[in-house]
């Protein structure tokens, strides 16, 4: 499936702000399940962009704006072809529990540990103690965990935020896809199954296009397998990965700092559209996979100023169907240096 993704974020301020430092994680990587055909980043006001890989292998586009401004717009447009391997078959081919002599691979070990938003707590320990994990295959285990998460969380927006730890979401009994993913991660780590957080997009017409899900570790032969706790399903070609990490705090699509005393208003528009082919004017393509795992971005920097924000987006050409989202947010005036919390990842039900 070829998808065109457009994610635009507009931040406006009641008074000028300045000294902004901002980073974006919106460039999908190329791997065995998807190929980034092209990635184009536009920022206003214009500013140079530096790209690097973070500790999890995600591409990060970094920029700063020192001069005062009252509006910041970022627009990331991507073409991605998904060709996902069968998660059902791969999960069904892994025995559980793993043989006693099997050691955890180096690349998976970190995802057994606590993380900023998924920390051990008495409430989580009690939740894990109720899990009745069967012997069989990893597929059996995943569905048991799906059911356990669904039994404890109700999908409800505006109850949690981007910074809500899993223990608080568990106590509230509700949240959005970010919280479902965090509780699933806690369950996996509680039974010694390495699992990591995924930030990305989903092509579900009529639903919000930004989404969060998880990957579980099979073994060295199988690798990471995508699973979606919010929908209790194994991920297929309608999901596009942009970044992975221990939890949401490692992968926010947008994050930054700004200085000033101002009220911030945020508007976000995200579209994901299936297309037959990339348009002829598209001339920024990813280099061969061995050289770079993500799509290559030619940055026409129009810079934006804001605190820490999260979003992602995509726009389509010749669409057959699309997933779209647009939502505003507003923050009150404060003096000094501000860190934007970030737009919470959520999947509309």
> Is the pLDDT confidence value at 174 over 80?
yes
Residues 92 and 233 in one domain: yes
CA–CA dist 169, 186 (Å, integer): 12
239 and 103 together in one domain: yes
Q: Does any domain span residue 348?
A: no
Q: Which of 12-26, 80-94, 133-147, 290-304 has the lowest mean pLDDT?
A: 290-304
Round to whole Å and give the CA distance between 169 and 123: 11
Q: Do 169 and 201 reside in the same domain of the chain?
A: yes
Give the Cα separation of 256 and 312 in Å (integer). 15
Q: In this structure, are 78 and 112 located in the same domain? A: no
Predicted local confidence at residue 104, as pLDDT: 86
- pLDDT at position 304, please? 31
As a whole number of angstroms, the distance between CA 245 and CA 197 comes to: 5
Q: 42 and 150 in one domain? A: no
Element (H, E) at 336: none
CB environment 58-97: b (16+ within 10 A), e (fewer):
bbbbebbbeeebeebbbbbbbbbebebeebeebbeebebe
Regarding whether 281 and 327 lie in a shared domain, the answer is yes
Identify the H or E element spanning 166: helix 166-172
Based on the fold, state whether residues 50 and 10 are members of the same structural domain: yes
Nearest to 255 by CA among 178, 335, 179, 343: 343
In a domain, 346, yes or no: no
Percent of the chain with pLDDT over 70: 79
Same domain, 96 and 240: yes
pTM here?
A: 0.83
**Inter-CA distances, 342 with 132, 176, 348, Å:** 36, 14, 18
Is the model's pLDDT at 251 over the cut of 70?
yes
Q: What is the mean pLDDT of residues 137-157?
A: 98
Residue-level pLDDT at 338: 67
Q: Which parts of the chain are beta strand (E)?
A: 2-24, 34-44, 50-53, 59-65, 69-82, 95-96, 136-137, 154-155, 174-175, 195-202, 210-217, 224-228, 233-234, 239-245, 254-259, 262-274, 297-300, 323-334, 337-339
**What's the number of domains the chain is made of?**
2
Q: What is the CATH number of the domain that holds 127?
A: 3.10.620.30
- Which residues span the domain enclosing 229? 87-249
Cα angle 72, 56, 146 (rounded to 5 degrees) comes to 95
Per residue in 291-330, pLDDT (tens digit) is 333 333 333 333 332 333 333 332 222 333 445 555 445 5
CB 296, CB 78: distance < 8 Å: no
Q: Is residue 304 part of a domain?
A: yes
Whether residue 195 sits in one domain with residue 132:
yes
The predicted-structure confidence for 176-206, as pLDDT tens digits, reads as follows 999 999 999 999 999 999 999 999 999 988 7
175: Cβ contacts below 8 Å, ≥ 6 apart = 153, 155, 156, 159, 160, 164, 169
Question: Domain ends where: 218, 234, 249?
Answer: 249
344 in any annotated domain: no
- The predicted model gives 59-68 an average pLDDT of 97
pLDDT in tens, 79-128: 999 999 999 999 999 999 988 767 789 999 999 999 999 999 999 999 99
Judge whether 21 lies within some domain.
yes
Residues 13 and 57 both lie in one domain: yes
Same domain, yes or no, for 136 and 191? yes
Q: For residue 207, name the pLDDT band (cuts at 50, 70, 90).
A: confident
In a domain, 281, yes or no: yes
Residue 278's pLDDT is 76
Give the torsion sign (CA, 250, 256, 262, 266): negative
Decide if 266 contacts 14 (C-beta within 8 A): no
Return the number of other C-beta atoms located less than 10 Å from residue 146's C-beta: 21
- pLDDT at position 99, please? 81
Question: How far is Cα of residue 146 from the mean position of the Cα atoms in its chain?
Answer: 19
- Same domain for 117 and 185, yes or no, is yes
Give the CATH number of the domain where residue 43 resides.
2.60.40.2250
Which residue among 249, 277, 304 closes a domain?
249
What is the C-alpha to C-alpha distance for residues 78 and 38, in angstroms, rounded to an integer? 6
Domain boundary residue among 233, 249, 265?
A: 249
The residue ranking higher by pLDDT, 313 or 17, is 17
Is residue 226 in a domain? yes
Tokens encoding 116 = 């900023």
Closest to 313 measured CA to CA, from 276, 270, 274, 278: 270
């Amino acid at each position: 499936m070829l998808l065109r993704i457009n994610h635009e974020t507009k931040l406006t301020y009641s008074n000028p702000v300045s000294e902004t430092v901002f980073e974006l994680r919106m460039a999908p990587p190329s791997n065995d399940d998807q190929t980034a055909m092209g990635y184009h980043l536009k920022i206003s006001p214009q500013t140079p962009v530096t790209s690097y890989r973070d500790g999890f292998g995600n591409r990060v586009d970094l920029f700063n704006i020192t001069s005062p401004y009252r509006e910041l717009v970022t627009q990331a447009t991507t073409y991605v072809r998904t060709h996902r391997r069968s998660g059902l078959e791969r999960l069904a081919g892994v025995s559980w529990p793993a043989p006693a002599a099997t050691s955890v691979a180096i690349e998976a070990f970190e995802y057994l540990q606590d993380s900023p938003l998924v920390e051990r707590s008495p409430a989580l320990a009690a939740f894990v103690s109720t899990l009745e994990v069967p012997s069989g295959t990893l597929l059996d285990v995943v569905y048991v965990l799906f059911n356990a998460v669904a039994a404890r969380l109700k999908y409800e927006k505006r109850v949690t935020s981007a910074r809500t730890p899993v223990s608080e979401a568990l106590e509230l009994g509700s949240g959005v896809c970010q919280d479902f993913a965090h509780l699933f991660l806690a369950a996996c780590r509680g039974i010694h199954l390495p699992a990591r957080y995924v930030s990305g997009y989903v092509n579900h017409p009529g639903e919000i296009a930004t989404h969060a899900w998880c990957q579980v570790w099979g073994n060295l032969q199988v690798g990471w397998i995508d699973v979606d706790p919010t929908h209790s399903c194994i991920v297929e070609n309608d999901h596009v990965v942009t970044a992975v990490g221990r939890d949401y705090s490692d992968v926010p699509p947008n994050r930054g700092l700004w200085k000033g005393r101002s009220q911030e208003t945020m508007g976000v528009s995200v579209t994901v559209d299936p297309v037959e082919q990339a348009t002829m004017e598209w001339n920024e393509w990813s280099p061969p996979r061995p050289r770079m795992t993500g799509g290559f971005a030619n940055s026409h920097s129009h810079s934006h100023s804001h605190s820490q924000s999260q979003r992602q987006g995509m726009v389509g050409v010749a669409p057959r169907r699309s997933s779209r989202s647009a939502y505003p947010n507003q923050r009150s005036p404060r003096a000094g240096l501000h860190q934007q919390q970030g737009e919470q990842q959520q999947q509309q039900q």
